[in-house]
Amino acid sequence: MDIDKLFKIPKLPTGGNKRRMPDAPTPDMIKRMRVDEEDAGTRHLDPSPKSRKAKVEDVDEDEDERMEDEEFAPGNDADYFAEEDEEGRFFGGGLTSEQKDILNIFDQAGGEGVQVDVEEMGITGIRKLLLRLERAANKNQDQRSKYPDDPTKFIDSEADLDGILRALMPLAQIPILAYPELVRSGSVARLVGLLSHENADIAIDVIDLLHELTDEDNEADEEEEEEQRSTAVKTLIEALLENSFLELLVENLNRLNEEEEADRLGVFHVLGILENVLAFNPDISKTLIKKTKTLPWTLNRIQNPAHDDNRGYAAELLSILLQNYRENRLAYGKNDGVEVSLKVLSQFRRRDPADGEETEFMENVFDALCSALAEPENKQLFLDSEGVDLMVLIMKEKKLARSRAIKTLDYAMSGPSGSTACETFVDALGLKSLFTTFMGKASKKGKASDAPASEETSHTLSIVSSLFTNLSSESPARIRLLAKFVENNYEKVDKLLEIRESAQRRLIETEADIEREKKEMIEEGEKPGDGEEALWYLRRLDGGLFTLQTVDYTLAWLTMEDDGILSHIKQMLSRKNKSLQDLVKTLQIYQDNVNEPEPTDESTLSQKDILQNLMAFLSGS
C-alpha cells in the first residue's frame, strides 16, 4: 500500500451550496441530515415507483451472509460490532477498514519522526531531526512575518514546530551522541531564540525540552559512560550560556500565567533548568542574580499565601542562590529579602506546616535567611525588621519552627557584628526560652548519652558562646546571663559538663579511627599530607570536637566570671579525674585552627586574643 497515495487529499470544490457540519451540531440537525441521506440513498438505489410495492422473494442464506459481510455496520465502521474495551467505552471506533489500515501503517512507521527508536538512532537520524527543526522554525518565522495579523496563515507551521520540538525529547537519552551535534549544528542558538517566541506554547515546548536535556538524573550503566554523559551535558550548558539563554529563560517566569496548568508546569521546568545549571557550575548564580530578575521573582513568589510546588521550588532556588556568594546575599538584602523572609516565616509562629512539602518550604526560607545573615549588612537589616523579636516569639510557641528560629538567632548573634543582636535578644526575654530548650529532658539516672548533640543543642550552645563573647562586662544583660548558670544549684553548669563528657567519648572513637587510617597509610608507604590532615580535622569536628570546643569555651568564661562556678567546675571535673588543664588543651586546638579577619575596631579583641586570655586564666587557677 502506498502511504503517499493514501494521504493525498482531493481538492475542495470552489463553489456550490453544500452544507457543512458546524463544529457543534445540534441533535435536530443530525436527525434531519440522516433523513435526507436515507431518502437520497433510496432514490439512488431504485428511483422507479414500482419499488414502493412490497415484494416477497426467497433469499439464499449464503447470499444473505455475503451481503452482511459487505455492509456489516453503519458507515462501514470496522469495529462497530466489537466488544467494548476494558474501560467500558462505546462500541466501534468510528473508522472504516481503510482508515484503520492507514493508522496501523502510520503507527508502525512511527509517523514523521514523532516516535524515535533511541537505541537505533544514529548520527544521521539526529541530523535529520535537527534539519526538520531548522526548516520548521524558519517556515514558521517566515509565515508569521508575512501574515502577522492572520493566524490561519501560520497555524499549520506552528503545529509542525510544536511536533518537532516534542520529537527532540528522546535525544536526552543519548546525550553522548546527540549533544555535540546540537551544538555543532547551531540548533542550540535556534532553541534559545524560540524561548521568546510569540506563542507561549512554543516557548513552553522549548522549556520542557531544555529541562529534559539538562537533567543529569538519568543514570548511566557504567562509570565511564557517566563521565562521558557529564561532559556532554557540560558542553550543552556552556553553549546555552554563550547564547545568553538565562535572560530569555527567566523572562518567561513573568510571562507565563500559573493559573493555566501548562503554564504552571512551564514555570516549574524553568526553575528546574536553573537548578540543573547551578548544579553544573555554582558560580553561574552570580550571573543569574546580576543579569536577570530571578531574585525579585523568587522573593515575590514565596509570598503567595497558597502553597504549591512552584512556591516550594522558588524557596529552594533562593536558598541555593545565597549559599556561597557575598554579592548575592547583599543583593538579597537590597531587594528587601530579609523583610520578605520574616514576613513569610511569621505565619509559622503559631501553626505548623500543613505537610512535608510545606515543611521543606519553611526550612528553605529559614536557610536562605541564615545564609544572608553571614553578612554584617544583613544583620542590621534583620535588627531593623525586628527579626530577633520574631525569632524569640517563635521559640516561645514551641512549634516545629522553633529549632529553625534558634539556628537563625545563632547566625544573627555570632561574630563582632552580632553584638547588638545579643543585647536585643536578652532584652526580648529570650534567655528563658533558650535555656528551656538547652535543658531539655533530664537524662535517666544522670547518665550521659553518647549520641551526638542535636542540631538544636549545638545552636543553643553556640548562642550562649556568642552571648559571652559579645555582651559587655558588668552590663545588666551579662549579669542576667550569669544568673542563669548560678540558679538551681548550678544545674546548667552540670548540663554543660554532661554534654562535654558525651562529646569527649565520641571524639575518642573518632580519633581511634583516624589513627588506624594513618597506620594503614604508613604501612603502604604513603605519608599523610596537608590535605589528609585537613580532612581528618573536619572529621574530628563532626565527631565531637566542635561541641567540645564550644562547651569548654563557655566553661572557661564561667570560671572567669564567678568564683562559685569556678569551684563547682573544679569539683565536678576532679570526680572524673579531669582538671582545668583539659579545658586548656581543647582551647589550644581551637586557637590553632581559628581563621578570622582582623577586627576593624581596635578596641575589639580578636577571637584568638580572647582564647589566649582564657587559657592564661585557666592555667593560673
pTM greater than the 0.85 cutoff: no
All cell numbers assigned to 22: 458546524
Instruction: Confirm if 327 and 366 have CB atoms less than 8 A apart.
Output: no
Average pLDDT, the chain: 82
Q: What is the pLDDT of residue 590?
A: 93
Q: Please check the confidence at residue 452 and state whether its pLDDT lies above 80.
A: no
Contact residues for 15 (Cβ-Cβ < 8 A; gap 6+): none
Answer whether 551's CB lies under 8 Å from 496's CB: yes
Q: Collapsing DSSP states into helix, strand and coil, what is residue 96?
A: strand
pLDDT of amino acid 16: 40
CA angle 586, 591, 597 (to 5 degrees): 150
**Of 203, 201, 212, 200, which Cα lies nearest the Cα of 168?**
212
Q: Which three cell numbers stand for residue 456?
A: 538544636
What does the pLDDT read at residue 40?
A: 45
pLDDT at 8 over 60: no
DSSP state for residue 195 in the 8-state scheme: T
pLDDT at residue 562 is higher than 60: yes
The values of phi and psi at residue 96, to 5°, are -80, 170
- The answer, yes or no, to whether residue 344 has pLDDT greater than 70, is yes
Look at residue 7 in the predicted model and tell me its pLDDT: 42
Of 140-149, 214-223, 390-399, 430-439, the range with the lowest mean pLDDT is 214-223
Question: In angstroms, rounded to a whole number, what is the distance separating the alpha carbons of residues 121 and 289?
Answer: 39
* Residue 413: CA count within 13 A, CB half-sphere: 31
> Can you say whether the dihedral through the CA atoms of 215, 370, 550, 590 is positive or negative?
positive
Buried b (16+ CB within 10 A) or exposed e, 107-134: eeeeeeeeebeeeebeeebbeebbebbe
Alpha helix segments (H runs only) across 428-475 = 430-439, 455-470
User: What percentage of the chain reaches a pLDDT higher than 90?
Assistant: 65
What DSSP state is assigned to residue 543? Answer: I
Query: What's the Cα-to-Cα distance from 230 to each of 31, 280, 326, 517, rounded to whole Å?
Result: 63, 9, 29, 32
pLDDT at 92: 45
| In contact, 502 and 448? CB cutoff 8 Å | yes
The residue to which cell 592555667 is assigned: 619
Specify whether the backbone of 489 is left (phi greater than 0), alpha (psi in -120 to 50) or beta.
left
Of the pLDDT bands very low, low, confident and very high (cuts 50, 70, 90), residue 449 is very low
Q: Is 249 helix (H, G, I), strand (E, B) or coil?
A: helix
Residue owning grid cell 426467497: 58
In the chain, the N- to C-terminal Cα span, in Å, equals: 103
Helices assigned H by DSSP within 147-242: 151-167, 175-184, 187-194, 200-213, 223-242
Angstrom CA distances, 576 to 442, 451, 489, 500, stand at 20, 19, 19, 12
Asked if 373 and 417 touch (Cβ cutoff 8 Å), the reply is no
Tens digits of per-residue pLDDT, 203-236? 999 999 999 999 876 555 566 688 888 899 999 9
User: What's the pLDDT at 43?
Assistant: 41
* Closest-CA residue to 167 (of 176, 183, 180, 178): 178
Grade residue 42 by pLDDT with cuts at 50, 70 and 90: very low
Percent of the chain with pLDDT over 70: 76
Tell me the CA distances in angstroms from 56 to 49, 53, 65, 445, one per residue in order: 17, 10, 19, 109
- Amino acid 453: pLDDT: 58
The full DSSP string for 40-88 is: HHHHHH--SGGGGS-------HHHHHHHHHHT-SGGGBTTTTSPP-TT-
Q: 3-state DSSP call for residue 387? A: helix
Please, are residues 391 and 409 in contact by the beta-carbon 8 Å criterion?
yes
Which three cell numbers, joined as nine digits, stand for 343? 514576613
Closest CA to 289 of 256, 317, 315, 258: 317
Q: What is the DSSP string of 561-589?
A: H-HHHHHHHHHHHHTTT--HHHHHHHHHH
| Residue 482: predicted pLDDT | 95
Nearest to 519 by CA among 532, 506, 507: 532
